Structure 1
């Protein structure tokens, strides 16, 4: 049932009074004082809450999965890169789902670090490379991106290359792995045609109340891509990246899979890096109304009732500690609440400090185009909801401090 939503609030003076749950105080009131206590007493209970009440549990293990390199060119992009296209097969209950990884690795660099991220409309949209396979999966229509009849065609090749500065990554010695998220689970309120359906019991048509929504399914897909990347001897480590809804998925993937060396959240907003209790911009009620398939069904009880949540999104960020984490916002992206993302990073930093890692100090302020590059990093750039060269310049500079 869709609930009537109040007008979105963009006025700081109208934010309700709220307290930020202390990540270092357990649900039973125990004070956490060191990283060992955190690991043994606190981290698991936070993780289990997010898993059961927000993103939803993965219901079972796969029966099997497979990888096959279906195309390779060691002299791609004018000789700059090795290109691989890898078909991944997932099997459960006699049902199969397939998706493709597009992988570029820089020539002349052994054991390169790699950025792994989902794209919104197909691997062929991130580059003008004519050899990249066009996705056959359901695709959201977009006049601007030349996608109609829910099908990608040659007309949409390279239409999102502006968000993926592949040459810059390669020149700096980084690789890129990307997957079209719609091949994992089409982004529509229909649980019949994606990853979820592999796991259904007979006559089941949607996940159970505390089982995974689409964000958790997309996070699961990132981990299955990692299964391949983790065994490619030309790759040293993998940093998972996501923008907007896919930033939410990247954060949950980082929280659920410790193999990711670092995590980048770009404008992930509500249900991602932004504090929910501020009720600024997009709220839990609005996101559950607009995208009822993204989260677990159990999350809907917090729609328009953020004050009843015993956690907030800064505690999602703490689940990634002590691994490097970058949270990024844009000053004009009020829907995603840039200040709420900054505050979330600040409040998560006390867990990083348990490990002797630096984060965002409570005395820091979110200045536009002034990155704070610590183990837990943050920037708020000029402009709108997007991924820009400025963002990637910061991510690459930051990654160079830990990924070599």
Structure 2
């Protein structure tokens, strides 16, 4: 279906009512955190689960972890490296993925950033010991990935997005997983996590069941199953960029074990308000990436006005845990203003817990972060993850993820 041309003109943003996170679907006002937990949080979560990201259809039958490689003197002696194979089993079918974990040497109790990468664990570093993924990979000539297969030529090709030295030097660890090992990012539900759960004759998820974003969020929680039992790890902050920022937000909303959440340029279906219809819209995203969300979400394509929730309520589900929303000034497709407003509209829920966020008097100023429990920045530049972003995430985590 042809989609309307994307709008980048603020004067053409439609008038809309922001759904009140502190008013239940039946019209009852929420005035304290106990009421939020008892009456509002679950109904919002269930709407997102059934109508947007989709429900996980069942529990796994079993899962396993095996440290398949480790070195206590990695990266020139500054890090401990572990590579962990995670096995998931359901209906006599199995799926495996690898976690790459770096911990700062000498820090026996380090907080860790956990995030997916786009092309393989070996792309985030020049480290020759990091295993090259065998999973399907999106072709990218600039990154030396051809025939949907990663090779040695792509090692270190995305290290610019992962400030590993900076992370380690500040006492943090990094855990990363190639998202394609959980669910290949193509409109084909036959070869990823979903297929483990199919009943006889089933070839795709049911209408209200999970799309790829929910599957990636599920994978982050399975990585967390390992990380929470590693005695050298104190806290886990789930991080994601772009579509993987959407997955990080849903993982954070779904799994309270994550101690903090970072959304980097997550845009439509992530941190940005859908009802603004600015940049990428629900219609655009469902048309271009029909596998990301539940099938039930498609009824809101080009009909954002009938959606009874918006993305600020997703952010609110993470309260009172620390949350950082970040935008880029030239990333209009992801609607930076919509991301800022979403954080602002989620702030009243944080206030129920005595936590600070984005006040009504705040405004987004490029390269001037607002760092509270609910934090926000818009930096100069394009859709990317930069050293500037990592500088902010590290300083924020040192103050708020304790």
**Residue of structure 1 in register with 2:335 after alignment:** 337
| Cα pair 2:372 2:400 within 8 Å, conserved | no
Q: Given the alignment of the two structures, is residue 132 of structure 1 paired with residue 125 of structure 2, yes or no?
A: no
Equivalents in 1 of 2:394, 2:190: separation in Å? 38
* Residue 169 of structure 1, CA deviation: 0.6
Question: What secondary structure is seen at the aligned counterpart in 1 of 2:297?
Answer: helix
For normalisation by structure 2, the TM-score amounts to 1.00
**Residue of structure 1 in register with 2:184 after alignment:** 186
| Cα pair 2:322 2:401 within 8 Å, conserved | no
Render the CA deviation track for 1:338-394: whole Å, top value 9, x for unaligned: 000000000000000000000000110000000000000000000000000000000
Match runs of 1:1-400 below 5 Å: 3-400=1-398
Render the CA deviation track for 1:286-317: whole Å, top value 9, x for unaligned: 00000000000000000000000000000000
Once superposed, what is the RMSD of the aligned Cα atoms? 0.4
* Residue 4 of structure 1, CA deviation: 1.4
Question: What secondary structure is seen at the aligned counterpart in 1 of 2:42?
Answer: helix
Render the CA deviation track for 1:200-255: whole Å, top value 9, x for unaligned: 00010000000000000000000000000000000001000000000000000000
Gaps of 5+ in 2: none
How many positions carry a matched residue from both structures? 402
* Residue 403 of structure 1, CA deviation: 3.2
Question: What secondary structure is seen at the aligned counterpart in 2 of 1:144?
Answer: helix
* Residue 402 of structure 1, CA deviation: 2.9
| Cα pair 2:97 2:181 within 8 Å, conserved | yes
Equivalents in 2 of 1:227, 1:111: separation in Å? 17
Question: What secondary structure is seen at the aligned counterpart in 2 of 1:118?
Answer: strand
Question: What secondary structure is seen at the aligned counterpart in 1 of 2:275?
Answer: coil
Equivalents in 2 of 1:146, 1:79: separation in Å? 29
Equivalents in 2 of 1:128, 1:403: separation in Å? 29
Equivalents in 1 of 2:84, 2:188: separation in Å? 27
Gaps of 5+ in 1: none
Render the CA deviation track for 1:247-272: whole Å, top value 9, x for unaligned: 00000000000000000000000000
Equivalents in 1 of 2:142, 2:286: separation in Å? 27
Question: What secondary structure is seen at the aligned counterpart in 1 of 2:39?
Answer: helix
* Residue 337 of structure 1, CA deviation: 0.1
